């Protein structure tokens, strides 16, 4: 399915700005891994597209051109481009990790049609395909590429695939004694800790020129070397070829909903029940729904702490939410604050670190992004 243009006209959204994505570190790491897998013949095309900077300075590439500096563009301009904010995530209705993970359930997806990260990726990819056929202008290609690089990152952040509590933005937790929220923990704090604790030996170059060539001399270099060495080349080496692939025939619209469930959905819609929207089908080369499904399931496995729905952190005990701790005018004592769950523990962060879940998501995201870019522009490079 092709969505119509221009981009902005499609996605009118009123959602409140919150955390939007992996933080800068996550997006830059993903883009750096993607850079390693770009076919050398498409790099000039990508540089040309990125070099075309219509009206902002962020695309002026510090030589040599690299995907990382522009990977956070979509977040930096999110206030200017409010229409784009819903494109950073997707919310399956009735999804409620950690007890119930639905992707989607019977009622489909929250939001407006086309206004989610799955459709966003397909839309910008098809705009770039138009450009390779000479059917879209350079300005459109420039923005579409910057969005694609960013949205492929967001797709691999599990909390961008659930709408519960705005993807965990409203769930206060503790991280080493400091208050934060579950979303911010996943956007940035887990990665920040991983970067701080990389073994020293990764400060030495790896014997892989493609890896070293893509590194940029940043504080992320050692961590990226570890992801590649321990993860991509060893732990996950058997699976990596599957990461690129899409199933031959992908189910349309409501994901893997079967024909009978669709009949029930339509019946409920006709009878006036509140229903969600549908998403467009995956294609055989760009299949964000297929890629996202197991990532979404992580919300029930490791991301959403069960304790948040059990006493004393949740599960029915009512505390004053935003209490100032002062006596009220009638002299009644302040209501107790809810205790906050500490997550920098062996049981939570320890399991995430030991299983390298975050590192695998960053690697999958980068490798799949490179796959899409090679698919799009190799055809173009062959023509010229
Ligand atoms: N706003 C609402 N849901 C969100 C999510 N899952 N991620 C980021 N921002 C959101
Ligand atoms: Zn984002
Ligand atoms: Zn986020």
95, 119, 171, 187: the active-site residue: 187
Residue ranges of domains in the chain, CATH in brackets: 5-55+62-317+334-383 (1.10.575.10)
Q: Is the pLDDT of residue 16 over 60?
A: no
**Catalytic residue list contains 309:** no
Q: Stretch 122-147: mean pLDDT, rounded?
A: 97
Q: Is the pLDDT of residue 6 over 60?
A: no
The mean of the pLDDT values for the chain is 86
Calpha distance 107→92 (Å, rounded): 8
Query: Parallel, antiparallel, or unpaired: how do β-strands 172-175 and 178-181 relate?
Result: antiparallel
Q: Tokens 């980068």 map to which residue?
A: 366
Q: What is the DSSP letter of 231?
A: I
CA distances from 209 to 30, 213, 225, 238, 378 (A): 18, 6, 12, 21, 22
Calpha distance 243→68 (Å, rounded): 21
Q: Is the pLDDT of residue 277 over 50?
A: yes
* Ligand number nearest to the C-alpha of 18: 1
Please identify, by atom number, the ligand 1 atom nearest to the C-alpha of residue 159.
6
Q: Is the pLDDT of residue 226 over 90?
A: yes
Burial of 296: CB neighbours in 10 Å, binned 0-12, 13-18, 19+ = buried
Residue nearest to atom 7 of ligand 1 (CA): 160
Q: Stretch 307-333: mean pLDDT, rounded?
A: 71
Give the helix, strand, coil percentages of the chain, each rounded to 5: 55, 5, 45
Q: Stretch 56-81: mean pLDDT, rounded?
A: 76
Its pTM stands at 0.87
Does residue 91 line the site of ligand 1, with CB under 6 A? yes
Q: Is the pLDDT of residue 355 over 90?
A: yes
| Confidence at residue 81, expressed as pLDDT on a 0 to 100 scale | 87
From 6-20, 54-68, 263-277, 295-309, the region with the lowest mean pLDDT: 6-20
Question: For a pLDDT cut of 90, what percent of the chain falls above it?
Answer: 73
| Confidence at residue 293, expressed as pLDDT on a 0 to 100 scale | 98
Does residue 89 line the site of ligand 1, with CB under 6 A? yes
The pLDDT tens digits of the residues spanning 229-252 come to: 999 999 999 999 999 899 975 544
**Catalytic residue list contains 94:** no
Sheet strands (E) in the chain:
172-175, 178-181
Does residue 280 line the site of ligand 1, with CB under 6 A? no
Q: Is the pLDDT of residue 212 over 90?
A: yes
Ligand 1 centre and the CA of 86: distance in Å? 8
């Amino acid at each position: 399915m092709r969505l119509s243009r221009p981009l902005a006209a499609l996605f009118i959204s009123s959602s409140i700005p919150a955390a939007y994505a992996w933080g800068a570190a996550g997006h830059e790491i993903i883009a750096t891994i993607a850079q390693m897998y770009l076919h050398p013949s498409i790099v000039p095309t990508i540089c040309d597209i990125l070099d075309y900077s219509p009206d902002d300075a962020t695309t002026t590439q510090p030589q040599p051109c690299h995907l990382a500096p522009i990977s956070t563009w979509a977040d930096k301009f999110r206030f200017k481009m409010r229409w784009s904010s819903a494109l950073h995530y997707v919310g399956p209705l009735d999804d409620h990790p950690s007890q119930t993970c639905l992707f989607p359930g019977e009622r489909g997806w929250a939001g407006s049609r086309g206004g989610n990260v799955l459709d966003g990726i397909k839309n910008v990819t098809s705009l770039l395909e138009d450009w390779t056929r000479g059917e879209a202008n350079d300005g459109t290609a420039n923005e579409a590429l910057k969005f694609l690089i960013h949205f492929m990152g967001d797709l691999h952040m599990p909390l961008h695939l659930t709408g519960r509590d705005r993807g965990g933005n409203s769930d206060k937790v503790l991280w080493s004694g400091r208050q934060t929220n579950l979303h911010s923990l996943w956007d940035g704090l887990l990665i920040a800790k991983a970067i701080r604790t990389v073994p020293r030996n990764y400060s030495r170059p790896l014997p892989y020129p493609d890896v070293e060539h893509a590194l940029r001399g940043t504080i992320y270099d050692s961590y990226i070397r570890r992801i590649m060495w321990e993860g991509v080349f060893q732990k996950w080496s058997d699976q990596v070829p599957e990461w690129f692939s899409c199933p031959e025939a992908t189910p349309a619209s409501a994901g893997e909903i079967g024909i009978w469930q669709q009949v029930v959905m339509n019946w409920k819609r006709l009878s006036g029940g509140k229903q969600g929207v549908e998403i467009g089908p995956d294609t055989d080369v760009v299949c964000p729904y297929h890629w996202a499904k197991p990532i979404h399931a992580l919300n029930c496995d490791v991301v959403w702490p069960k304790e948040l729905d059990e006493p004393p952190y949740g599960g029915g005990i009512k505390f004053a939410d935003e209490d100032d701790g002062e006596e009220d005018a009638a002299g009644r004592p302040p209501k107790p604050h809810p205790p906050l769950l500490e997550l920098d523990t062996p049981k939570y962060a320890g399991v995430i670190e030991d299983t390298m879940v975050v590192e695998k998501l960053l690697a999958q995201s980068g490798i799949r992004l490179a796959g899409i870019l090679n698919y799009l522009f190799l055809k173009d490079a062959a023509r010229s």
